[in-house]
Amino acid sequence: MRPPADLVVETDATFRVHASLYTDPALFDAEMDRIFGSAWVYLCHESELPNPGDYRTSVIGRQPVIVSRDQDGEVHVLFNRCMHRGAVVCRADRGHSNYFRCQYHNWVYDSRGALQGMAQPSGYPDDFDRSGLSLVKPPRVGTYRGLIFASLAEDGESLQERLDDVRGYIDAWCDRSPLGRVTLPRGNHRYSYPGNWKLQLENGVDGYHGNYVHESFSQILERSGERRRSDVTRARNEVGGVNSAKGLSHGDGLLERGSGMLGTIDFSQFAGYRERLAQAHGADRVDDILTQRNVLVWPNLFLFESHIRVVRPVSVNETTVDNHPTMLQGAPDEVNTARLREHERFFGPASFGATDDLEIFVHVQTGVQASSAQWLDMSRGMHREEQRDGEIVGHSTDETPQRSMYRAWRRAMARTNREAVA
Amino acid sequence: MSSDAPAITRDEALDLLYLEARLLDDGRLAEWLELFTEDCVYWVPNVVEDAAREPSIIYDTRTRMDERVHRLTQTAAHAQSPPSRTQHTVCNVEVLAADTPGEATVLCHLVIFEQRPGDDWQVGLGAPRWFAGRCEYRLRVRDRTWKIALKKVNLLDRDLPQYNLTFVI
């Protein structure tokens, strides 16, 4: 393994990423330690555990956790690992319980992770020290507008500081609900693909591929009379306006397009929706709120128009993605139902859109086996992007957001484990 | 619906299910569409089976089915180039007693074997996959022919991560 800092190479005019980032298992292990071992990692949404005693499992990198809500309503993140002999204490992915019981020797923990007892306790002296036998917790947990994050770093930026630059976009996304509150339905769309996790990150904010990878979908829209292909192509090529690709600090990035430009839901068709938004958030914010954005919150979260997307690296060439459509509280029912149907149409595992993206990830994962060709080029638009209000703003087809995420990759990977934790 | 509309026979039900399987496996998707009523739903639900409250894997009206067929037959859908070879295998067929003349409910199990040809050294090509589901068909007589008004497939792994379900299930 070369030093990771040498694997993302930037000059004034060029930006290159080494192919081993997609293929080297040792690099993958290092990513889990240095990126997922230090960043604020998204775990789940508060609406998935609405009531005291509710829980949901998740992962921080590869480490299994339980996110539980205690009797006082407080959220706890607990490593799913018995303090006795290491077995998991929870096998369901969600549920309701006031305790977690290890099935090996019946050690029992409450929803705060405190050890409550074990089978045959007479095997331990009365003064046996149980103080260090609560379930281990990540050092820091934070929530912003329903999004629950944890960090394995003891110190560093608070979640609030971490989200500073991307906060306005998160707010706009939440405020598509007239009540400022989104919830997740029970079911979601899950897909797995035999490729590296970063392929999904790159693609989710890539405005360059749409005319080609989603040609099939453009043809369907033209056939249904929803959008002319020439209009879609023109919109994707358009310079200026709200169309842009942005690179933010912390590895975040976004792809931004005017309301209804490419999405197939025309929100103005729903009587009263825009009015409810204007009433709740102010008329001057409605266009901003309805702007179509794909927001990448490094390293594992996307906020898309219709859903939360969580990227779970499994191995160097194996990734699971959870797409949780969001229900906009306070919006007309027809808006939410239409969003579900459009979500199935473009983003689901049997859809007409995301499935073609996944196919391309697999093309890349196969192609980079040709390791004699060492580099991937991500220089597009370096000559024309601009610094604006602390953001790097490029044409919507530029690789500006991808550069932002790989700069964050390089910063995190250049640290040693000790520094990452310190 | 005329009150003397016949109840479906087991043979008629089997013939329809086998015909559907054959049309899908032969890629005769335009003919497959014709097996359905105009107001049909082709539904592959998620965990709750409530299409108003959660995303389904597929919730196709006739219009959306028509789009699906168009995508598979007329457009460059990367996820189906090369296209899947499938073998739809239907078994455990039960024809339920009908409450309404001219309507029928048929249950069956479905196993699909799938494979994509091409450079089988490449990721995603060559490797055989299988999919299992339990189906419910609601059938209706239209012009003296039994048509499918609802095809619902509960996949065994519907709440687990899926990969490339872009062929017709």
B100 at the A interface (CB within 8 A)?
Answer: no
- List chain B residues with CB under 8 Å of A184: none
> Looking at residue A236, what is its pLDDT?
77
Lowest pLDDT segment from A272-281, A324-333, B4-13: B4-13
Query: What's the number of domains chain B is made of?
Result: 1
Confidence of residue A230 (pLDDT cuts 50, 70, 90): confident
What's B52's domain CATH number?
Answer: 3.10.450.50
- List chain A residues with CB under 8 Å of B122: 362, 366
Q: Where are the domains of chain A?
A: 41-151, 164-415
Average pLDDT over residues A17-29: 98
Question: For the domain A41-151, what is the CATH code?
Answer: 2.102.10.10
Model confidence pLDDT, tens digit, residues A114-126: 999 999 999 999 9
> What are the pLDDT tens digits along chain B (169 aa)?
444 567 999 999 999 999 999 999 999 999 999 999 999 999 999 998 999 999 999 999 999 999 999 999 999 899 999 999 999 999 999 999 888 889 999 999 999 999 999 999 998 899 999 999 999 999 999 999 999 999 999 999 999 999 999 999 9
Which SS3 state, helix, strand or coil, does residue A78 take?
strand
Model confidence at A418: pLDDT above 80:
no
Confidence of residue A416 (pLDDT cuts 50, 70, 90): low
Model confidence pLDDT, tens digit, residues A145-187: 999 999 999 999 999 999 999 999 999 999 999 999 999 998 8
B120 at the A interface (CB within 8 A)?
Answer: no
B144 at the A interface (CB within 8 A)?
Answer: no
Q: What ranges in chain B are assigned the alpha helix state H?
A: 10-25, 29-33, 62-74
> Looking at residue A383, what is its pLDDT?
97
Model confidence at A419: pLDDT above 70:
no
Model confidence pLDDT, tens digit, residues A351-363: 999 999 999 999 9
Look up tokens 């549920």; give the residue: A95
> Looking at residue A259, what is its pLDDT?
58
Select from A191, A337, A340 the Cβ nearest to the Cβ of B162.
A191
d(CA A384, CA A333): 43
Q: Are B91 and B105 in contact (CB under 8 A)?
A: no
Residue contact A365–B55, C-beta within 8 A: no
Lowest pLDDT segment from A24-28, A238-242, A326-330: A238-242
Q: What does the DSSP assignment read for A42-65? A: EEEEGGGS-STTEEEEEEETTEEE
> Looking at residue B18, what is its pLDDT?
98
Confidence of residue A258 (pLDDT cuts 50, 70, 90): confident
> Looking at residue A87, what is its pLDDT?
98
| CA dist list (Å): B84 to B24, B114, B116, B117, B167 | 11, 6, 5, 7, 6
Select from A215, A321, A355 the Cβ nearest to the Cβ of B166.
A355
- List chain B residues with CB under 8 Å of A348: 55-58
Select from B58, B67, B161 the Cβ nearest to the Cβ of A191.
B161
Confidence of residue A264 (pLDDT cuts 50, 70, 90): low
Supply the range of the domain harboring residue B82. Answer: 10-155
A338 at the B interface (CB within 8 A)?
Answer: no
Model confidence at A261: pLDDT above 80:
no
Q: Give domain A164-415's CATH architecture.
A: Alpha-Beta Complex (3.90)
Helical axes A215-224 vs B62-74, angle rounded to 10°:
130
> Looking at residue A421, what is its pLDDT?
44
- List chain A residues with CB under 8 Å of B164: 349, 355, 358-359
d(CA B142, CA B138): 13
d(CA A218, CA A386): 30
Model confidence at A417: pLDDT above 60:
no
Average pLDDT over residues A215-237: 86
Q: Are A313 and A31 in contact (CB under 8 A)?
A: yes
Query: ipTM score of the complex?
Result: 0.95
